[in-house]
Amino acid sequence: MNYQRTSSKRWRLVIGVATLLALAGTATDPSTGQAAAPARPFATNGEGSDSKPGGQGAEEGGPRRGAVDERFSTPAKARGTVHAKHEHSHGDHAAGEDAGADAGSSTASAEGPNAAALNEGTLDPAVFGSWQRTSYNLPMRAVHATLLRTGKVLLLAGSGNQSSVFQAGTFKAGLLTPSTGAYKAIDVPYDMFCAGHAQLPNGNILIVGGTLAYPTANADWKGSQRVYEFDVAAERWIARPSLAHGRWYPSSVQAPSGHVWNFAGQNEYGKRNTQVERYTASTNTVVQKPAWSLPKYPGLLWTAKDRVFYAGTRSGGAAGQPGLYNPATGAVQPVNGITALDQRRAAATLFAGDATTQRVIVVGGGWPATKTTSYIDLRPTTPKGVAGPDLSTAKAYVGAVNLPTDGSVFQTGGGTGRDTPVYESSIIRGNTVVPLAPNTVARTYHSSTLLLPDGRVLTMGGDDYGDGFEMQVEVFTPPYLHNGTRPVITAAPGTMAYGSSYTVSATASNASLASAWLIRPSSTTHSVDPNQRAVRLNTTAVAGGLRFTTPSKYVVQPGYYMVFVNDSQGRPSVARWTKVG
């Protein structure tokens, strides 16, 4: 297999070909009024996916192609669009018009007098951030990615959506050090492809279910019943009690008690698993709980009211009824008003900013792809969804994380189909969408986005319809890291008990200390991360630092978190790790 990065010459060639095809004219999708997208504008690296419909095709993986807004169909055009829109909004109307900056246009061109805008160097990093491709490629398919308390990233492929690998039993997992590209292969006891995962209170990672069998002409995917724990310190697997029934495409959510509740997926017979099972690490037991019928990889979050919220987002199937599940009784309180439910497959679901506010956002989705978002305030007795701000372009396969400065949602990548990526990134803050420098590597199905302890964002993966898997890694440096010297944490608590007070000591350059945040490390696959959350600590300034009291376990579930300190210029420190609970 060739894991070498696509050469810059080849990159320019394929981008040029895609641009010429777009300029030559394409068919229009009558459902959206947008041009039907050209083929994927560059070749991917690695092995091909040999799973096709009616196995994991247009349902779970999404359609092969979809209509793409031409302005975001290549990295070059996307940079030109962002540049022109910025110029237009800052008074340079002529420049904006020359570059085709009309936000309502789906065919605006990035050619013309502002052709220099196609050079990403013209996007001021202090305003738009910057992207860097790493010097290394991935040695395996990063279908699942979890940031560990060691700073390494646990990557899972299992069979990696390749039936030939499944048949050979040559499953893959490994540990990646993002800063250097150092990689260590980890033996895999079974096929963890399309499993669920969550951090345990001790910082280890629980893996639930996976693939028991690939589809055949007469049968659908079948889910594994196996459960394993990854010991982060020893870097090895520990077998745990199996589930009552298999789970393929499940979501695993940690409760305030530290238990991991497992929902949805397909069982060992290829049928929907409606059972709910709770895993308890302290007793090493799996217990049946009240049933709840949900689609594959449902977008779930555990709320401060000790309920499990389902936002209507999922990887496959109809949405069903969004609602709040009572873990004691199984009763589900409906939550209505979430917009575009029919188009929320492969959408992102996360708390919008400080999880204390209990405000959730769903971002994008398909099919067809949508640019809409929706907010849900979970604090009222009867929560309901409302429309949020539109993204700049329609997309599914959304990668989204909370940023450490104010909890704003950073979203990136995505596409309208597996072979039709879009190149667009932004920060969502309230009802405002702030355009940022676009990603330069396609990120569609099976891609991952994680916040790193240094405040940058790591993006990996992407599984097209059959030509290969994206092995190139790309890192986004947000604008706040292009704005002078960041604060430095000099001391922070290694452990934190609920209700106890602590001081984090830090220094700032030409600024004061402004805030401190706890952010749970990402554990993501298929745009799903049920345990992601950012919590702003209620701080008081003290000599040389900030003092705070650890919030409730209903807001900060037990486990390891990154502690960030921000200064009055909006710059975050490098995080320190702390164990809560």
Q: Is the pLDDT of residue 6 over 80?
A: no
What amino acid is encoded at 42 in this protein?
A: F
pLDDT in tens, 158-187: 999 999 999 999 999 999 999 999 999 999
Q: Which domains does the chain have, with CATH numbers?
A: 483-580 (2.60.40.10)
Residue 36, beta-bridge partner list: 67
pLDDT in the model for residue 97: 33
Q: Which residues contact 151 (CB under 8 A, 6 or more apart)?
A: 177, 178, 179, 453
pLDDT, mean of residues 77-97: 71
Could you tell me if 395 and 371 are in contact, meaning their C-beta atoms sit under 8 angstroms apart?
Answer: yes
- The radius of gyration computed from the CA coordinates of the chain, to the nearest angstrom, equals 23
Q: Could you report the per-residue pLDDT of 290-342, keeping only the tens digit for each? A: 999 999 999 999 999 999 999 999 999 999 999 999 999 999 999 999 999 99
Q: What angle do CA 459, 464, 467 make, to 5 degrees?
A: 120
Q: What is the pLDDT of residues 418-446, one digit of tens each?
A: 999 999 999 999 999 999 999 999 999 99
What is the model's pLDDT at position 2? Answer: 32
Confidence of residue 365 (pLDDT cuts 50, 70, 90): very high
The bridge status of strand 236-240 relative to strand 373-377 is: unpaired
User: What confidence category does residue 91 fall into, taking pLDDT thresholds of 50, 70 and 90?
Assistant: low
The answer to whether residue 189 scores a pLDDT higher than 70 is yes
233 pLDDT band (50/70/90 cuts)? very high
Average pLDDT of the chain, as a whole number: 88
Angle between helices 8-23 and 75-89 (to 10 degrees): 70
Residue 344 has pLDDT above 90, yes or no: yes
Q: Residue 290, Cβ neighbours under 10 Å: how many?
A: 14
253, 303 Cβ separation under 8 angstroms = no
C-alpha 158/C-alpha 173 separation (Å) is 7
Sole residue written with tokens 């399309």: 194
- Record the pTM: 0.88
φ/ψ of 390, rounded to 5, equals: -80, 145
The token pair that represents 93 in the structure block: 């109307």
d(CA 154, CA 523): 9
Overall average pLDDT of the 37-51 stretch: 40
